[in-house]
Amino acid sequence: MSIPSMTLFHNPASPYVRKVMVLLHETGQLDRVALHDCQLTPIKPDAALNQDNPLGKIPALRLADGQVLYDSRVILDYLDQQHVGNPLIPREGSARWRRLTLAALADGIMDASLLVRYELILRAPEQQWEPWVEGQRDKIRRGLAELEAHAIAELASHFDIAAISVACALGYLDFRHPDLEWRQAQPRLAAWYAEASQRASLLATQPPV
């Protein structure tokens, strides 16, 4: 057990933080990182976090030399270059661009999910903009449909940046948007996730109940 040399600004509910935690588990780097818990929303920022990341977003990763990395994509790339096992982000070639594109699709599903969440919990009901919420839900539905139609075999082939990102996006949908019932229209994605979600890294990083 080594003394952590890095600090991760963290909240267990964030799917973006979860991606980083899953990669730390998968690459055996958990003990290199101390967690700094942040309770924040766009209208209730975390002062300590803002000093290190002017965007006030988690995750952010403070390195041993004081440098701070953000956002989650940069942190994942950095951490993936800090271990000796197989890379979870292909370093080059067409696999790199395909796996990063799948990861970006999953991030987009998270983005839309979080925007809907903020609209519904932070705004007074009379201020909520239903067509905008529905537009975000449509992004989620289209993203899921794309994964169902074109990505199942790739997700099943190995557990890397693409699979981590999709699993964290689906976990967030289950956590905050169970009403979307995404499994109904995506049975193959549901079957993939049922198996993937049993990995130790995903079991250990489930959102709080």
Does 180 bind ligand BEZ (CB under 6 A)? Our answer is: no
Give backbone dihedrals phi and psi of 175, rounded to 5 degrees, phi first.
-70, -50
Taking residue 176's Cβ as centre, other Cβ atoms within 10 Å add up to: 18
Amino acid at 54: P
Contact pick of 30, 68, 95, 114 for ligand BEZ (by CB under 6 A): 114
> Which one of 9-17, 91-99, 137-145, 177-185 is the stretch in contact with ligand BEZ (CB under 6 A)?
9-17
Q: List the interface residues with ligand BEZ, window 127-156 (CB under 6 A).
A: none
Stretch that binds ligand BEZ, among 10-18, 77-85, 134-142, 178-186 (CB under 6 A): 10-18
Cβ pair 36, 9 in contact under 8 A: yes
Q: How far is the CB of 176 from ligand BEZ (least distance, A)?
A: 5
Handedness of CA 97, 14, 11, 199 (dihedral sign): negative
Report d(CA 174, CA 158) in Å as an integer. Answer: 23
Q: Please name every residue paired with 136 in a beta bridge, in sequence order, or none if there are none.
A: none
Instruction: Select from 6, 176, 186, 193 the one that contacts ligand BEZ (CB under 6 A).
Output: 176
Q: Which is nearer to ligand BEZ, 60 or 155 (CB)?
A: 60
Of 84 and 121, nearer to ligand BEZ (C-beta) is 121
Q: What minimum distance in Å lies between the beta carbon of 112 and ligand BEZ?
A: 13
**Left if phi > 0, otherwise alpha if psi is -120 to 50, otherwise beta: which for 89?**
beta
Q: Are strands 68-69 and 33-37 parallel, antiparallel or unpaired?
A: unpaired
Which residues contact ligand BEZ (rule: CB under 6 A)?
11, 13-14, 114, 117, 176
